[in-house]
Structure 1
Amino acid sequence: MSWDVNKKTTHFGYREVPVSEKANLVGEVFRSVAPKYDLMNDLMSLGLHRLWKRMTISEASLRPGDRVLDVASGTGDLAKAFAKIVGKRGKVIMTDINEAMLSVGRDRLADQGIIGNVDCVQADAENLPFADNYFDCATIAFGLRNVTNKHAALASLYRVLKPGGRLLILEFSHPTLPLINTLYDLYSFHVIPKLGEIITRDRGSYQYLVESIRMHPDQETLKAMMLEAGFEDVDYLNLSGGIVALHKGFKY
């Protein structure tokens, strides 16, 4: 289950590409979709992504004064909610490897007056530029599947968390019922790319997004990866029949 440091290729959707090229290819996808990212999220998930994120916010169990790291923060939905909970004494750092996405998120939060306790840092999840044992909570929502070396990202997240800190991973996963899986496949491969073509004039990026979901580890595999990274009390909650899963683990 360990990442092979000598591995020369990795998956980009269903394609095998050189490891050195994946980050740039993913970057191109998100530079393309950034301007209409929120609209497409609402359309693709029929608004359900808002409920999934509310569950993540609840499970984070934050308190005033906490330090929170939101990795692959995108347009800042979680960061916005976290900033309100931790208050002036707390701190939220939103990161994304993609400057276009981070810029959209930063501008969005600034427009809503949420700037005092939120910092934006362009960063790679595999090598987070933060001190050891610093954050009370770390989250990554719909971003881990785009990371080239997921083992390195999990190790990096573990390092920056305080003892007693917790990691939450919200990600598309594998439906648990055959009927849901069949319907989900039909919707994913026939509707989502077409929506991308109509709304963003970019079918290819949404074809990749659909394929990247299918290539992401299933619930039990991701749980095992978190345990391997050092997290304890790891568990997950299937949402919408397993279309999405919320994994949670602790650093002790």
Structure 2
Amino acid sequence: MADNKANKEQVHRVFQNISKKYDRLNNIISFEQHKVWRKRVMKDMGVRKGTKALDVCCGTGDWTIALSKAVGSTGEVTGIDFSENMLEVGKEKLLQWKCLNLFMVMQWNCRLKTILLIM
């Protein structure tokens, strides 16, 4: 049990520390293919306007923002992550993209139709 807690704390620390570099690292490591994958998966998911969705482990919010655009102004997206620093980077993106139907939080309680979990 102690090992599990130590592992969780280590993972949390990693994401807290790389939050400001995460997007750049993701671009480099994937050769920017993560953008192509996201577009393909979003198309395959067939998310409809007006949908309420939850993005679990949303990180810096790239998928969350894509969901927000897909559900439109009548939908609602909640992004949840355990790293405060990753959420802060995501919240900065929300201001840039003007996603008024999107919320990024540490804790959440709601009913949804679509849940996206990328691991």
TM-score, structure 2 normalization: 0.92
What is the percentage of aligned positions where both structures have the same residue?
29
Q: Which runs of 5+ in 2 are unaligned?
A: none
Aligned to 1:26: 11
More strand by share: 1
Kept after mapping to 2: 8 A contact 1:70/1:93: yes
Q: For structure 1, which segment, 35-44 or 51-60, has the greater mean C-alpha deviation from structure 2 after superposition?
A: 51-60
The answer on 1:59 being equivalent to 2:44 is yes
Q: Which amino acid aligns with 1:137?
A: T
Aligned to 1:89: 74
TM-score, structure 1 normalization: 0.45
Aligned to 1:141: 118
Which structure has the larger Rg over C-alpha atoms? 1
Q: Provide the C-alpha distance between the structure 2 equivalents of 1:110 and 1:138, rounded to a whole number of angstroms.
A: 23
- The CA deviation string for residues 166-193 of structure 1, in whole angstroms up to 9 with x for no partner, is xxxxxxxxxxxxxxxxxxxxxxxxxxxx
The answer on 1:130 being equivalent to 2:115 is no
- The CA deviation string for residues 114-160 of structure 1, in whole angstroms up to 9 with x for no partner, is 2x10011114xxxxx424xx211101223xxxxxxxxxxxxxxxxxx
Alignment RMSD (CA, Å): 1.4
Matched length: 119
Q: Which runs of 5+ in 1 are unaligned?
A: 1-7, 10-17, 124-128, 143-252
The list of structure 1 runs, each at least 4 consecutive aligned residues, that deviate by more than 4 angstroms after superposition, is: none
Higher relative contact order (CA 8 A, sep 6+): 2
Structure 1 residue 82: deviation in Å? 1.2
Kept after mapping to 2: 8 A contact 1:72/1:94: yes
